[in-house]
Structure 1
């Protein structure tokens, strides 16, 4: 599946800028321990990934492609019923900490991750470590 990435680029300037979901992309947020394993599965198939000050990872995906997801520990950030959700997006050059940076660098035209592949990788990681109240705890 080919994802058509709009001609969007990260903001200029030294600091992250809060940008709304839904226009160019939505985002999928996971904690670092899950996200790093997902990156291992996706490899070169991952688009750009933002890592924030709290060691949380964010994949950029096509708008509206993950709104129905209901996965433990996974938050889909999207515009909901006309209400905007924002994500702090670093400048393209920010590739290292401190602060919010690109864990997987932004590449024009290739920054979106295929949401179907991301979902499959998340399921794989989450099934490997069932949480409290999950079937694997019995």
Structure 2
């Protein structure tokens, strides 16, 4: 897939990161190489569609929750309903189960959008716009269902 160039959101240190090599996902700490943006499947599916080819790698866990990887601290101030940012905070370590690059399907945690060394961080501004759109769309759908 031909991907557009990343804007200046990827640091040289982040470019060096690679997922684990073993057969199973490994719990890795957020905040050093990347932060993870955790989104429930209903919002996440809309965000994936909105982003199209502009999404970096995405992890999907056994509960269908989606996780985008972004530059550390890039999403720390986000306050969107249903969206949670996994990052380093003072005195608290936050972990994400990261699958090896070969896990591309279920069962278990896998890469919903495959990891590639040159394109795994999602541009935080694009992701934020996609999530705002997706949370508003979900709110509209919920409102219509209650009428």
Scaled by the length of structure 1, the TM-score of the pair is: 0.91
Alignment match, 2:19: 10
Structure 2 counterparts to residues 1-138 of structure 1, below 5 A? 1-4=7-10, 5-130=14-139
Q: By how many angstroms is 1:102 displaced?
A: 0.1
Q: By how many angstroms is 1:20 displaced?
A: 0.4
What 5-or-longer segments of structure 1 have no aligned partner? Answer: none
Name the CA distance, whole Å, in 1 between partners of 2:127 and 2:68.
Answer: 9
Which of the pair is proportionally richer in helix? 2
CA contact (8 A) 2:43 2:138 kept: no
Other structure's SS at 1:127 match: helix
Other structure's SS at 1:130 match: helix
CA contact (8 A) 1:7 1:109 kept: no
CA contact (8 A) 2:9 2:71 kept: yes
What 5-or-longer segments of structure 2 have no aligned partner? Answer: 1-6
Q: By how many angstroms is 1:3 displaced?
A: 2.6
Q: Post-superposition, which runs of at least 4 consecutive aligned residues in structure 1 deviate over 6 A?
A: none
